């Protein structure tokens, strides 16, 4: 085998020289007894002594600085080229687990078709074929006899270099003692000593003790008001507790993934808002009605911090609520429709295509199945999970007791979009708390 490829998995530091510099012509031999027992593990390793004894004697001094514990993984691709075919071990003869079967399966015809239609593909060529150039023959110099006895350092092959921390390999013969580390760096200029500048502002002496102002009275936030029907598409929907008692997750998962569309579309009366009504274009975002001027004292009123965060992440202004946030989400680039599922029900936003209607129909069950699968596996019920179907992909963002699901244009969401929606889901979860 080529020594260069054997040393490819070994670091510069543990070898003491750069393995990249080893010419391809230097070969190393290993005994079959060393290789063969290791083939059963799928990995063949050799130690420093194996390498040293496998290379020509003149190269052995090159390993003088190598770490004794050095181990190199042999590249199996090259090993199989080097091994004689009879050296590759074969499986022990044993009877087949299932003798020839007489059962025609649903896939028999396809297998027969493919056998005639698709040939075994030829291996991909590694590189383009090299066209030999028409060059005059080289004049080969006469061979130089090797000196007997120990090889002087100057006669070592050119690839053998000393370990050089500066990254530039130097021939071992010219290596000088490295400079002590306490010497100043070349080119470094001593910084002039800083003089203490006088303070520009003289602080007056305090004549009174410092006190703190009493805190302002903080009125309670106004109770949450029911959003008008024209603004908020969120309406109470059947509670998820209706899914109880729950069967095992794996069963639910299979049932959900194969579940046909419900026979009846949910109507407004059922408590689930569906965006399945034909909409020519995306409806405008609900404009919040101007807040009535209240006679009550409003100073100090603070909105929920999540509202501010949602406005920030969704680059929106004005009033913010889960329904409005959902409407914004459904208009994000790459998002076709969005569903928000909470303990109170389901909200949907999107256009009225078949794909979106199917997405709305199955989102609740898929959320449940995901949740149960994670619980079954002992995993926290949070994170984002992309589900790809034939021609649609959707991502479910799970956080505490809510789930934001989006039907997307592409097979996967952009990283920034995924991060953004994760943060939006977190804020929506904090609102629901």
Partner 1 sequence: MAVVNHETKEVTFKIVYCGTPVGGKTTNLQYIHSRIEADQRGDLVSLATSTDRTLFFDFLPINTVVINGYATKFMLYTIPGQVCYNATRQLVLKGVDGVVFVSDSAPERMEENLQSLQTLRRNLVNNGITVETLPLVFQYNKRDLPEAVPVTYLEYLLNNSAPRRVSFEAAANTGYNVFATLNAVAEQILQKFHLATQPTPTPVAPPQVNEGQRENSPSTTTGARHSDPAALSS
Nearest distance from C-beta of residue 296 to partner 1, angstroms: 45
- Count how many Cα atoms sit within 13 Å of the Cα of residue 289 in the half-sphere of its side chain: 8
In whole angstroms, what is the distance from residue 125 CA to residue 408 CA? Answer: 38
Work out which of 41, 116, 128, 315 binds partner 1, going by CB under 8 A: 41
Residue 44's nearest CA partner among 31, 57, 25 is 31
Residue 157's nearest CA partner among 65, 27, 58, 66 is 58
Q: In which region does residue 423 sit, left (phi positive, over 0), alpha (psi from -120 to 50) or beta (all else)?
A: alpha
Nearest distance from C-beta of residue 234 to partner 1, angstroms: 27
Structure tokens at 39: 């083939």
Structure tokens at 78: 């090259």
Structure tokens at 409: 């244009």
Give the Cα-Cα-Cα angle 27, 33, 38 (nearest 5 degrees).
90
Q: Can residue 32 be called a binding residue for partner 1 (CB under 8 A)? A: no
Stretch of 34-42, 148-156, 266-274, 425-433 lying at the interface with partner 1 (CB under 8 A): 34-42
Q: Can residue 42 be called a binding residue for partner 1 (CB under 8 A)? A: yes
Quick one: 342 or 408, whose CB is closer to partner 1? 408
In whole angstroms, what is the distance from residue 307 CA to residue 430 CA? Answer: 10
Residues 136-155 that bind partner 1 (CB under 8 A): none
In whole angstroms, what is the distance from residue 387 CA to residue 253 CA? Answer: 12
Nearest distance from C-beta of residue 343 to partner 1, angstroms: 23
Residues 366-425 that bind partner 1 (CB under 8 A): 373, 376-379, 383-390, 412-413, 418, 422
Sequence-distant (≥ 6) Cβ neighbours of residue 320 within 8 angstroms: 303, 307, 308, 310, 311
Give the Cα-Cα-Cα angle 4, 9, 14 (nearest 5 degrees).
95
**44 alpha-carbon distance from chain centroid:** 30
Residues 79-108 that bind partner 1 (CB under 8 A): 79-80, 85, 88-92, 94-98, 101-103, 105-108
Give the CA dihedral 337, 340, 344, 346, nearest 10 degrees: 20
Q: Can residue 118 be called a binding residue for partner 1 (CB under 8 A)? A: yes
Quick one: 107 or 212, whose CB is closer to partner 1? 107
Quick one: 150 or 415, whose CB is closer to partner 1? 415
Work out which of 155, 170, 173, 250 binds partner 1, going by CB under 8 A: 250
Nearest distance from C-beta of residue 374 to partner 1, angstroms: 9
Structure tokens at 404: 């934001």
Stretch of 41-49, 130-138, 185-193, 261-269 lying at the interface with partner 1 (CB under 8 A): 41-49
Q: Can residue 255 be called a binding residue for partner 1 (CB under 8 A)? A: yes
Nearest distance from C-beta of residue 380 to partner 1, angstroms: 12
Nearest distance from C-beta of residue 419 to partner 1, angstroms: 10
Nearest distance from C-beta of residue 109 to partner 1, angstroms: 9
Beta bridge partners of residue 405, listed in sequence order: 339, 396
Nearest distance from C-beta of residue 85 to partner 1, angstroms: 8
Positions touching partner 1 (CB under 8 A) are: 39-43, 75-77, 79-80, 85, 88-92, 94-98, 101-103, 105-108, 110-111, 113-115, 118-126, 247-251, 254-255, 257-258, 373, 376-379, 383-390, 412-413, 418, 422
């Amino acid at each position: 085998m080529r020594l260069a490829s054997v040393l490819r998995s070994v670091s510069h530091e543990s070898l003491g020289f750069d393995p990249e510099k080893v010419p391809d012509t230097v070969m190393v031999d290993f005994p079959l007894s060393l290789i063969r027992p290791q083939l059963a593990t799928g990995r063949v390793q050799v130690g420093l002594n194996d390498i040293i004894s496998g290379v020509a004697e003149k190269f052995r001094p090159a390993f003088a600085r190598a770490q004794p514990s050095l181990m190199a993984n042999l590249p199996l691709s090259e090993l199989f080229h080097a091994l004689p075919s009879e050296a590759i071990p074969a499986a022990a003869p044993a009877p087949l687990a299932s003798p020839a079967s007489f059962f025609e399966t649903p896939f028999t015809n396809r297998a027969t078709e493919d056998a005639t239609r698709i040939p075994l593909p030829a291996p991909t060529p590694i590189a383009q074929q090299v066209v030999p150039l028409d060059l005059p023959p080289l004049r080969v110099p006469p061979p130089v006899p090797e000196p007997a006895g120990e090889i002087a350092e100057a006669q070592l092959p050119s690839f053998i270099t000393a370990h050089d921390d500066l990254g530039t390999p130097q021939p071992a013969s010219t290596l000088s003692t490295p400079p002590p580390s306490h010497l100043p760096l070349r080119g470094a200029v001593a910084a002039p000593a800083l003089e203490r500048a006088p303070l520009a502002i003289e602080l007056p002496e305090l004549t009174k003790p410092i006190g703190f102002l009493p805190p302002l009275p903080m009125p309670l936030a106004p109770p949450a008001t029911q959003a008008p029907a024209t603004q908020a598409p969120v309406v109470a929907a059947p509670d998820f507790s209706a899914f109880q008692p729950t069967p095992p997750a794996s069963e639910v998962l299979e049932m959900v993934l194969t579940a046909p569309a419900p026979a009846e579309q949910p109507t407004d009366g059922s408590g689930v808002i569906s965006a399945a009504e034909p909409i020519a274009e995306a409806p405008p975002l609900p404009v919040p009605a101007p807040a009535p001027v209240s006679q009550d004292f409003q100073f100090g009123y603070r909105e929920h911090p999540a509202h501010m965060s949602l406005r920030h992440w969704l680059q929106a202004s004005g009033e913010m609520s889960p329904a409005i946030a959902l409407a914004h989400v459904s208009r994000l680039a790459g998002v076709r429709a969005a569903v928000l599922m909470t303990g109170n029900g389901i909200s949907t936003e999107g256009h009225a295509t078949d794909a979106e209607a199917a997405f709305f129909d199955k989102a609740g069950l898929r959320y449940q199945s995901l949740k149960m699968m994670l619980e079954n596996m002992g995993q926290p019920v949070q994170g984002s999970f992309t589900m790809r179907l034939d021609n649609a992909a959707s991502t479910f963002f799970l956080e505490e007791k809510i789930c934001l699901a989006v039907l997307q244009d592409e097979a996967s969401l952009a990283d920034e979009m995924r991060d953004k929606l994760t943060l939006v889901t977190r804020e929506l979860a904090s609102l629901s708390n």
